[in-house]
Structure 1
Amino acid sequence: MPLFSSPSTRIASSFVSGGARPWSPSSLLAGSRRPYGRLSNSFLRTRDRPKPTSRHLSRPHFVPPSSAFHAPAQSVVMSTGSLDKPASEYRLPTNVKPVHYDLTIRTDLDTSEFDGMVKIDLDVKEPTSKIVLNSEGLKLGKAFVRSESLKDEQAASEHSVNEKEKRVTFTFPTTFEAGSKIQLRVGFAGELTGSMVGYYRSSYEKDGKKKYYSLTQFEAVDARRAFPCWDEPALKATFDITLVSKADTVNISNSAVVSEETFSENNQSHANLKQSFPSLSGQWKVTKFQTTPIMSTYLVAFANGPFEHIETTVHLPVSNKTVPLRVYATADLIHQAQFALDVKAKVLPLYEKIFDVPYPLPKLDTLVATDFDAGAMENWGLITGRTNSFLLDPKKADIAGKKRVITVQSHEVAHMWFGNITTMEWWDYLYLNEGFATLMGEVITIDCISAYPELRSNSEFINDHLNRALALDSKLSSHPIEVACPNADSIGQVHEERIFDALSYSKAASVLRMLSAYVGEDKFLKGVSLYLKDHMYANSITNDLWKGISTATGLDIPKLMNNWINKMGFPVVTVTETATGIKVRQDRFLETGLAEAKDNETLWSIPLNILTLDANGKPTVDRTALLEKREQEFPLDTSKPFKVNAGTNGVYRVLYTSERLSKIAAEVAKSDSCFALEDKMGLINDSMALSKAALMKLSSALNLIDAMRQEEEYLVWSGISDAVGGVTGLWQDHTEIHDLLNEFRRSLFRPIVKKLGYEYSANDSPDITQLRTTAISSLAVAKDTDVVNELRSRFDHYMKTGDDSKIPADLQRATYRTAVKHGGRDEYNAVKGIFEKAPTPTARIAAMLALGQTQHDELINQTFDITLNGARDQDIMYFFATLAENKKTKHQLIDFFKKNYDDLYKRFQNTFTFKYLVEYTFRGLSTEKDLQDTIDYFKDKDITRYEMALNQTVDGIKARIAYLKHSTSDIEAWLKEWKKKGVSSL
């Protein structure tokens, strides 16, 4: 589904650490509708119920559980509505089933209106005189039915609309018999707004004037906003789509154009159109598209506007056909679309070969939108998404921007199979779409199948997805990957925030990656292919996937995997040494420590992947070791280095004794260490998480990091940057500790900048480029005088000359941020000018993130005004994220949020954005007073649409409070002792 675009945790982390990673589900994390950023790679890519429950009839307010938010997540989730009735009661009636839609929509961009006619062929399954389907926000005309048994078309005798249920019921004077076939015809009309859901309008500027175009975003439950339909993923049908528009615009949809001609009253084929749209004249044109394959309504897509396109073709290895590929955008943007087109051309044939399933459509388009809630969306044959997901200037592109375009395009193309050919049966199983698209699109295809091996995507997955997923899943307010979504209304109001999050994307992908590593990638992909072939053009559930992989491997996959999918949380594996080896124990891990007994009942089947050294001193990994009980022992020579979770493929943390961790740190420090890149990344992430949970000392984690000073791998340093940056931000209000932590950061990264310098070369590897950027950015945030002066000097040159050649693309974020933070009005206005007239999407994002870093009161007020009145709806979260990270503005942001709550809620109530605004505003708090103030503020609010985000945010505040309490004296003592050693003089 859509890849999300929120800046998410990843973006804030990069602020604190100076890291240069894009926010990507991701990203708002992606997809598909990848949730914002690395929540995106994703800010990722659906909606006969009973009467509303009392929870729906009365506004749900924020009532903290008696345990002050540390109640099991189920208790929180259950408060959003009754889940104890059979699913059939929450779905549309099954008396009729749609088979085919003949959909005609006329778009008038001048008036921002659309109208249309839909004819739906139905199979009658049970005798009925009532037809119930979904509709929301549409003006509906009279409904008619025709069938072989009726001499004439018959009008509905009655129709009623249930606004709460988003349904319309048509009652006819005739009872239609089971087994008969009928056709329903309904006219409709609607308004094109900037809502970013349903059929909506997006704006751009041309010759200084605002212009509009239209496009769709239907996932999860918003096809019903564009035309009456059966808006459930299992109710698939084929579609004939006709778009009527002004003659000087371009129409695109899922399938290829069959015909396009100017409307003429003399054209016999246009006669019916004139009846439906009496005002048609020669200024209109009619575009007809090929019939689609059978598909779900959330994947239907169309758009109308003054688009231009670039094009190429690819030959597909399985279907043996040549397919045209296009990228559409407005004229001012199309010149930046070539890279995205090249990526799509590279990965589409790879997927067809890997899955051994033909790509069924005659073309594959991408539409770049300037207003888009998610990061991208996998509409079949017409991918849509944000500018920063698909555009870049190759001459000015940073590595992060290139990686985002690669992963988003690859992720969305993966959905052409996962989600589009084979679709989850209901939204409970969203991870079957999103987890696979994340793993296939962002790891296996890019890294293992050699699409872009230089990006080392399998290794980067650890920081971008695995660590992010474990951070969210370590909260009591987490939820299982497979999460109950009983009704469409719940998806739209409550469960959408639960299913489109890091667990459906990143944790699901992590669990699947763990399975692939355990059974072997070849067998894993063979099982995936079997799964797709068994459910071509159909719907699936979890056991269907397990069946395919079980067939390919001969293993009992349900036994191995069910608890990873159906239970919330994950384990920490505690390792102690015995006379003959190691004893390992599993317990549920929480960010505040080990779970209490009532929350610690799950036993996972854990692939331990134990790394040891063989007789020749070479690393070897036992991939057969499986922990299935609470405790087990495994024989091992503990006199040699060893590590559990080799390759960091497992979805768990590993806790060693302090003595063993010291030995691991000593081994890590060796130039010929037996621990690979992925092992070092896992060690950093585990040690920081375990120290936060008070299961090990923070000083031990810092010792491990300190031992890695000679490390040369970018991804290790990226993890170090995030880890130390996060700790520095947490102790922001403890001046002495904060200053010493910044000194520690400077000692880590100065040697790298001294070695690599500030100049970027086309001959640099991606690793060198990213390592340089990470080191400079980290030092800028740590107030390194030399780096701050260098970056300010480069920006000063830009202000005086208009020449930005001294600001490499990879240093845009660090340079703009440093200029604003350490400068005054001139620097602020210069960055504001970039924000308003950015040459590239990445420059615009860098400018937005910088504006929130000013330290001047007048400019802070200006930034808040821009946030509320000058930012596009899709971009407001960037301002919230940066203002929350700025020590001077983080509490002002809370006041701003509270003052504008009603307006913000109304503005974003139908999108994913509002839950991120809640999260960014409050998640950095770390005092008991702030915690209580937050709880008190939301007590009288209707929190239905962001309940889980709020609970997770409050859990996070509690964890930060606990972290400060149990680790302040430890970190203070360690830093003072470190300072005495003189290391800081580096």
Structure 2
Amino acid sequence: MSSQKATISVKSPEYYRLPTNVKPIHYDLIIHTNLKTSKFVGSVTVLLEIVEVTSSIVFHTLNLNIANASLRVVRPGQNVSVYDGHTLKVHLDTELERGTIDLPVILDAGCTAELTLDFGADLTGALIGYFRSAWRHEGKTEYYSLTSMAPTNARRAFPCWDEPLFKATFSITMISRKDTVALSNMNIDSEGPYTSADKNTPDLFKSLSNISLSESGAFSESEWKITRFAKSPPMSTYLVAFSNGPFAYVESSYTSPLSGKVKPLRVYATPDLIHQAHFVLGVTETVMPRYEQIFDIEYPLPKLDTLAAADFDSGAMENWGLIIGRLNTNLLDPKNADALARRDVTSIQTHEIAHQWFGNITTMAWWDNIYLNEGFATLMGSYIIPDKVFPDLKMKSYMVSVELKRAFDLDAKLSSHPIDVPIDDPKMIHQVFDMLAYSKAASVLRMLLHYLGEDNFLKGVSIYLKSRLFKNGVTEDLWAGITEVTGIDVASIMDTWIKKTGFPVVTVIESEDGIFLRQDRFLESGKPDKENNETTWSIPLSLLTISGDGVARVDNTIVLDTREKFIPLDTSKSYKLNAGTVSFYRVLYPGERLVNIAKLATQDAPSFTPEDRIGLLSDALALAKAGMIETSRALDIIQIFRNETEFYVTTSLADTLNAILDTWWENQEVVDLMNGLRRDIFGPMVKRLGYEASKDEPLDVKQLRIGVITAAADANEESVVKELTSRFAKYVKTGDDSHIPPDLLRPTYITAARHGGPIEWQTLKSIISNPTITPSKRSSAIFGICSFTSPSLINQTFDFALKEGKFDFMRECFDEVVRNLGETYAFPYILQFSFQGLNTKKDYEEIKHFFKTKDTSAYRLSLNQILDGILSKAAWKDRSTEDITKWLKERSFVACD
């Protein structure tokens, strides 16, 4: 037993972490895959550095059958083994997901050791570790294999040191059938037949022949091949990837602007889908050289592949050199894809490519700094890069309308947590892959970028990456890099945003000669108590002023870093805090100032950006929900923006109305009145835009059409419902959907479902089940089949969709859902979706009672957020029902006949 292990107390943070007395340097990993039997076996030889004296070796492993273990040790200055070939016993601990080998000898600090382990397991559809995915080929279901190692699932694929700090190099060898393709992180060094000589070579397999791979147990030389991949740079285990299947590919390349090297790019998919891979390949080719220029660091691997997979847990995963993602995030048929699908494929692939630097070259030391990966990749993939190379996507507005909104929504809850959240129990790791790690982190980094200037910010980021090349980094390393460029103490500004929970609302009190500002924590449930209002943030205010002659000026230098502050200002002139909605705070203006700013924002286009208008809508709704203004005041703001022409502002308008409906959905009077308001706003927009895109129509106009038709159909606008259902009915009758534009597939399917029955249900099911359907069309059909209102059809959908439904269904089948999906990234989102409509104190008590007997440790954060959300909705209803009803009735918004 090592001394370190002996001093660790049970359930302390160190209890869950591997000892650091042994450090992996290099893995020789062999994986032999049998797709016909859905099994794999392997052998791994790990070169270890003995850092401290120890008599045991501890590593991660889970659900693997370990057949053999042997050790070879070399002491400093010796070229021969002093302890060789002994078969050792591995003690498995399923709770801690690790194996321990107690050694008969003491290993001295400074020596090296080679640990060899043989292992095997089934290829299941579990979506984690090394698993299988199904596809239809010539009428039969066939399989291919792939990996999803993040965050702690490499241990399910091979024994390893499965923590990001344990970086090592990898030499991966794959044995697979000759008619399949083997993929891994690195380029292929050699590939050829796998012969009996290979099979019996001691340095290839020690005793793996004891585990049979073929159906009969016999070995056929003509059946298999062996593929050896080049040695990788140092990387963490969660980035290791390998895959085997009948893949086809499309390819291109890019020329490094730093070295002049030409580097190949490929996208792989099954042969029936490969024709849809050109779009994502083009995105990759476009952004790779731009990333090299921005970071001033050449992409270090000799190739970059992307694999589109039918079954995958997250949207996509940034494995170094082999990005893997779902079909709908990687494949797109330009002739049959809507405008939003183009945006999503572009931003997701750009996000994953950003990780090739952020996360792969430089990796966070532990999962509490996951935002260093995900926050930066979101900022780069959803904001900086698309804005430079895909300006028609208008990702500046997307950042505010989507990412900032997601962050605000979660961080306004009392149960929120810091971006940099301490993680002791590994069950917490999955839970912190939430909108705080992605959207809030990206938003506060965007705030810092605007405060310092983009060039300074990116130069500082480059210094950070260069200082931690092929190593691990922490928050302080990043701040040091940016501080080196700017001379500004970045840590003093950013620490509260990263290390503290929540965000502020700035209350404005006006006088003739200026504005008095006060910051407090913003909570959707209302004013915080003293205990939850201790943080004072350093807030870059980004103050917009407009002079008497109409000249607009933005001052990015003012920082509110105290609880209260006075700013001299001529309040007889127009002004706005948080210009461009670039900072992470809300603003509570006095009196009619918010309404007046909103009116000005619709009239003075040069001074106010779409991001300003999105921010005003967002603030109005949030302040109303928290009881800081009347909800009728938020409805006044909505009315001001009723003639909006920008897609993302209109989307925010629709989201604001939907948030009110989602809270009052059980109050039929309010629902009918709100739908009247929605029809009044969006109906005229549909008439103006029509249903068909003109040739060469701008992308944002196409997106706008999708948004307003969707909103009008949701509100039961009669002409829109009739138009969409008739188009679907024609498809049902003829089987020809050419009269449904790709941009209108989703609203058409959803509307047909809401107003349809068994025929529509079967039609949508057949679309989803058709293996030749494009991913974007299948996605639209999935949204459609989840939109039926008939209880019997909801039940059918529930069964068809692997028990994914609302609370009544979730309550009945919860244990089965947890068993199938509880360890995936998707589970917290399934949980939240299942309960998102609940809005009464009775609902709150029922959910608390339901989970009282459950082990909630793996989803505790999500559950607390759900409970907070229910209480805040209940309070909002109690406070504002009369106010909303009165406002709507005064304007004569009525239900449709």
TM-score by length of 1: 0.87
Pair 1:951-2:875 in alignment: no
2:264·2:303 contact (CA, 8 Å) conserved in 1?
yes
Using the alignment, how far apart are the partners of 1:269 and 1:314 within structure 2? 41
Residue 406 of structure 1, aligned match among 337, 340, 346: 346
What are the equivalent positions in structure 2 for 1:799-814 lying under 5 Å apart? 799-814=732-747
Residue 383 of structure 1, aligned match among 310, 315, 323: 323
Residue 800 of structure 2, aligned match among 858, 866, 876: 866
Task: Give, in angstroms, the shift of residue 274 of structure 1.
Answer: 6.3
1:197·1:911 contact (CA, 8 Å) conserved in 2?
yes
Greater shift in the superposed pair: 794-803 or 206-215: 794-803
Residue 710 of structure 1, aligned match among 623, 643, 648: 643
Greater shift in the superposed pair: 810-819 or 275-284: 275-284
Task: Give, in angstroms, the shift of residue 281 of structure 1.
Answer: 3.3
Using the alignment, how far apart are the partners of 1:727 and 1:826 within structure 2? 32
Describe the SS at the equivalent of 2:603: coil
Give the partner amino acid of 1:409: Q
Greater shift in the superposed pair: 971-980 or 428-437: 971-980
What are the equivalent positions in structure 2 for 1:175-214 lying under 5 Å apart? 175-214=106-145
Residue 96 of structure 2, aligned match among 160, 165, 174: 165
Pair 1:480-2:411 in alignment: no
What are the equivalent positions in structure 2 for 1:408-487 lying under 5 Å apart? 408-447=348-387, 450-486=388-424
Pair 1:140-2:66 in alignment: yes
Residue 104 of structure 1, aligned match among 21, 26, 30: 30
Pair 1:579-2:518 in alignment: no
Give the direction of change, closer, same or farther, for the CA distance of 1:782–1:503 in structure 2 (3 Å limit).
same
Using the alignment, how far apart are the partners of 2:617 and 2:571 within structure 1? 22
Deviations along 1:577-616, one digit per CA (max 9) or x if unpaired, are: 0121101110000001121111000000001111001353
Describe the SS at the equivalent of 1:634: strand
Task: Give, in angstroms, the shift of residue 52 of structure 1.
Answer: 10
1:915·1:945 contact (CA, 8 Å) conserved in 2?
no
Pair 1:507-2:446 in alignment: no
What are the equivalent positions in structure 2 for 1:270-419 lying under 5 Å apart? 272-273=203-204, 276-278=207-209, 280-282=219-221, 283-419=223-359
TM-score by length of 2: 0.95
1:49·1:91 contact (CA, 8 Å) conserved in 2?
no
Pair 1:849-2:783 in alignment: yes
Aligned to 1:63: none
Deviations along 1:539-565, one digit per CA (max 9) or x if unpaired, are: 010000000000111101010000000
What are the equivalent positions in structure 2 for 1:580-729 lying under 5 Å apart? 580-614=513-547, 616-670=549-603, 672=605, 674-729=607-662
Using the alignment, how far apart are the partners of 1:194 and 1:158 within structure 2? 30
Describe the SS at the equivalent of 2:858: helix
Deviations along 1:944-976, one digit per CA (max 9) or x if unpaired, are: 111111110010000110110111111111111
What are the equivalent positions in structure 2 for 1:62-141 lying under 5 Å apart? 85=12, 88-141=14-67
Aligned to 1:78: none
Task: Give, in angstroms, the shift of residue 49 of structure 1.
Answer: 7.2
Using the alignment, how far apart are the partners of 1:461 and 1:297 within structure 2? 31
Residue 897 of structure 1, aligned match among 797, 810, 817: 810
Deviations along 1:420-460, one digit per CA (max 9) or x if unpaired, are: 0000011110000000000011110110xx21011111121
Aligned to 2:214: none
Residue 258 of structure 1, aligned match among 184, 189, 205: 189
Task: Give, in angstroms, the shift of residue 672 of structure 1.
Answer: 4.7
Pair 1:218-2:149 in alignment: yes
Describe the SS at the equivalent of 1:776: helix
1:216·1:302 contact (CA, 8 Å) conserved in 2?
yes
Residue 922 of structure 1, aligned match among 806, 810, 835: 835
Using the alignment, how far apart are the partners of 2:260 and 2:138 within structure 1? 45
Deviations along 1:92-111, one digit per CA (max 9) or x if unpaired, are: 11222111111111111111
Aligned to 2:215: none
Give the partner amino acid of 2:142: K
2:165·2:365 contact (CA, 8 Å) conserved in 1?
yes
Give the direction of change, closer, same or farther, for the CA distance of 1:270–1:339 in structure 2 (3 Å limit).
farther
Give the partner amino acid of 2:414: L
Give the partner amino acid of 1:826: I
Aligned to 2:884: 971
Using the alignment, how far apart are the partners of 1:89 and 1:853 within structure 2? 46
Give the direction of change, closer, same or farther, for the CA distance of 1:593–1:368 in structure 2 (3 Å limit).
same
Give the partner amino acid of 1:281: S
Describe the SS at the equivalent of 1:153: strand
Using the alignment, how far apart are the partners of 1:914 and 1:274 within structure 2? 38
Using the alignment, how far apart are the partners of 1:322 and 1:577 within structure 2? 60
Describe the SS at the equivalent of 2:859: helix
Give the direction of change, closer, same or farther, for the CA distance of 1:526–1:49 in structure 2 (3 Å limit).
farther
Deviations along 1:171-216, one digit per CA (max 9) or x if unpaired, are: 2222222111221111111111111101111111111111111111
Aligned to 1:153: 84
1:50·1:90 contact (CA, 8 Å) conserved in 2?
no
Task: Give, in angstroms, the shift of residue 284 of structure 1.
Answer: 1.2
Give the direction of change, closer, same or farther, for the CA distance of 1:342–1:630 in structure 2 (3 Å limit).
same
Aligned to 1:65: none
Using the alignment, how far apart are the partners of 1:916 and 1:355 within structure 2? 33
Aligned to 2:497: 564
Using the alignment, how far apart are the partners of 1:807 and 1:671 within structure 2? 38
Deviations along 1:83-132, one digit per CA (max 9) or x if unpaired, are: xx4x5554211222111111111111111111111111111111222111
Task: Give, in angstroms, the shift of residue 728 of structure 1.
Answer: 2.0
Task: Give, in angstroms, the shift of residue 415 of structure 1.
Answer: 0.4
1:99·1:121 contact (CA, 8 Å) conserved in 2?
yes
Task: Give, in angstroms, the shift of residue 861 of structure 1.
Answer: 2.9
Using the alignment, how far apart are the partners of 1:718 and 1:816 within structure 2? 19
Give the direction of change, closer, same or farther, for the CA distance of 1:101–1:979 in structure 2 (3 Å limit).
same
Task: Give, in angstroms, the shift of residue 267 of structure 1.
Answer: 6.2
Residue 243 of structure 1, aligned match among 143, 152, 174: 174
Describe the SS at the equivalent of 1:201: strand
Give the direction of change, closer, same or farther, for the CA distance of 1:533–1:833 in structure 2 (3 Å limit).
same
Aligned to 1:911: 824
Give the partner amino acid of 2:149: F
Deviations along 1:138-177, one digit per CA (max 9) or x if unpaired, are: 1112321113353562425543111111111112222222
Describe the SS at the equivalent of 1:583: strand
Task: Give, in angstroms, the shift of residue 275 of structure 1.
Answer: 5.2
Describe the SS at the equivalent of 2:158: coil
Aligned to 1:555: 488
1:665·1:703 contact (CA, 8 Å) conserved in 2?
no
What are the equivalent positions in structure 2 for 1:720-739 lying under 5 Å apart? 720-739=653-672
Using the alignment, how far apart are the partners of 2:625 and 2:477 within structure 1? 39
Give the direction of change, closer, same or farther, for the CA distance of 1:482–1:265 in structure 2 (3 Å limit).
same
Larger RCO of the pair (alpha carbons < 8 Å, separation 6+): 1
Greater shift in the superposed pair: 910-919 or 358-367: 910-919
Greater shift in the superposed pair: 728-737 or 187-196: 728-737
Give the direction of change, closer, same or farther, for the CA distance of 1:671–1:749 in structure 2 (3 Å limit).
farther
Describe the SS at the equivalent of 1:979: coil
Greater shift in the superposed pair: 821-830 or 639-648: 821-830
Describe the SS at the equivalent of 1:658: coil
What are the equivalent positions in structure 2 for 1:35-74 lying under 5 Å apart? none
Using the alignment, how far apart are the partners of 2:736 and 2:643 within structure 1? 37
Task: Give, in angstroms, the shift of residue 865 of structure 1.
Answer: 2.3
1:274·1:280 contact (CA, 8 Å) conserved in 2?
no
1:828·1:851 contact (CA, 8 Å) conserved in 2?
yes
